[in-house]
Amino acid sequence: MEKIRLAVTGATGSVGGAVLDICARFPRIFEIRALSARSNAKKLAELGRKHNAGILCLTEPEDKNWREEGFLCLTGKEGLAAMVEEPSVDHAVFASSGVAAIEALQKALTRGIDVSLANKESIVVAGPWVMPLVKRADQLRPVDSEHSALWQCLRDAPKNELSRVWLTASGGPFRDYGAEEMERVTPEAALKHPVWKMGPKITVDSATLMNKGIECIEAMQLFDLPAEKVGALIHPRSQVHGMVEFIDGTVKLLLSQADMRLPAAAAIAWPKRLPLAENGLPPIEPAGWELDFREIDEKLFPCFALAREAGRLGGAYPALLVGADESAVKHFLGHEISYRAIAEVISEVLGRYGGNPPKTLEEAVALVEEGEKTADKICRDRRNR
């Protein structure tokens, strides 16, 4: 059997690490050809040597003359595009955050190679310019645990038999807080996620449930569903990652350990399943299954409500939301605005917009920057009052 030859963007992050872990566990199946990161040259080079990659790419190198002996070294968005167009690569994994990888994602899909995706912005901001490039069923495979769960539950199901889907959320560190407690939330408290170990930005988004709202928008694009058919529930144990209800009233769900290596393996090994239970990732025994779900209180988690509304409105609003959230979280982590102010700033950004929907990908990406700049100004004005 020929090996699956991969290029992995976001190789130094948690999702990229999960993909590389699976590849290392099954060296007879996978081969790493190229790796990219944003700016961590030292760690990228270490990973390149460990996994015998021939190509490295930094999208924002601190040293413009950056080079690593023994590798073909690329930089910028152009480097990412060249990496996925390398003839020896037949599977591209997008595990980075932000919009820098959108062009490379488009080129990978256009080229016809398999793609595993854990980059929300690529779909939330650029979905209308990305999804039409998918050439065949399951060419684009979600890696985020919730979307992977829906994808696996929906395999081979006729769309007209689908009623609705749910993503699940752990609820973050504040799932049991009341309104008064929310007023006293600090950045340090928001960074203590009860289940997942992630970077600061995504951890705060998980605490506000903005992340879950953005994931609902992503699910709408990935599975071509209207807003009313996509929902989310708090599931504190994070055992069930997604659920699908069909028109006969039956529900299919995916239950597993909260470990990103599981959805990573499902995506890169499709259509096969790997024997992970024999390789250090045991399943949850039935006696330990806990099917505890609760509705999301949108008054306590207004960021979730804002994202849902942006998804319902479509047009410019998802891109503006992504940019505004980026700024608001940055100012919150800098102790410049309160936790509650994150939603207030984002709401003000969305409310101020009076322009037209984007007609091109470039316009959509520019709206992300506009949302971020507008939020920056609102945060500065708040500090100066």
The response to whether 206 counts as a known ligand-binding position is yes
The response to whether 13 counts as a known ligand-binding position is yes
CA dist 285 and 57 (Å) reads 42
The response to whether 322 counts as a known ligand-binding position is no
Beta strands in 79-194 (DSSP E): 91-94, 114-117, 140-142, 162-169
Rounded alpha-carbon distances, angstroms, from residue 108 to 58, 85, 189, 224: 18, 7, 39, 21
The response to whether 211 counts as a known ligand-binding position is yes
The response to whether 120 counts as a known ligand-binding position is yes
Q: Find the angle CA(157)-CA(102)-CA(99) to the nearest 5 degrees.
A: 110
Contacts of residue 272, Cβ cutoff 8 Å, sequence gap at least 6 = none
- Asked if 43 and 12 count as a contact pair (C-beta separation under 8 A), the reply is yes
The response to whether 372 counts as a known ligand-binding position is no
The response to whether 170 counts as a known ligand-binding position is yes
The response to whether 146 counts as a known ligand-binding position is yes
Mapping DSSP to helix (H, G, I), strand (E, B) and coil, where does residue 338 land? coil
The response to whether 96 counts as a known ligand-binding position is no
The response to whether 199 counts as a known ligand-binding position is yes
The response to whether 176 counts as a known ligand-binding position is no
The response to whether 144 counts as a known ligand-binding position is yes
The response to whether 79 counts as a known ligand-binding position is no
- Asked if 298 and 304 count as a contact pair (C-beta separation under 8 A), the reply is yes
Q: Read off the DSSP letter of residue 294.
A: B
The response to whether 121 counts as a known ligand-binding position is yes
CA dist 176 and 372 (Å) reads 30
The response to whether 279 counts as a known ligand-binding position is no
Instruction: Cite the annotated binding site by residue number.
Output: 12-15, 40, 119-121, 144-146, 170, 193, 199, 206, 211-212, 215
Instruction: Cite the annotated binding site for 1-deoxy-D-xylulose 5-phosphate by residue number.
Output: 120, 145-146, 170, 193, 206, 211-212, 215
Instruction: Cite the annotated binding site for Mn(2+) by residue number.
Output: 144, 146, 215
Instruction: Cite the annotated binding site for NADPH by residue number.
Output: 12-15, 40, 119, 121, 199
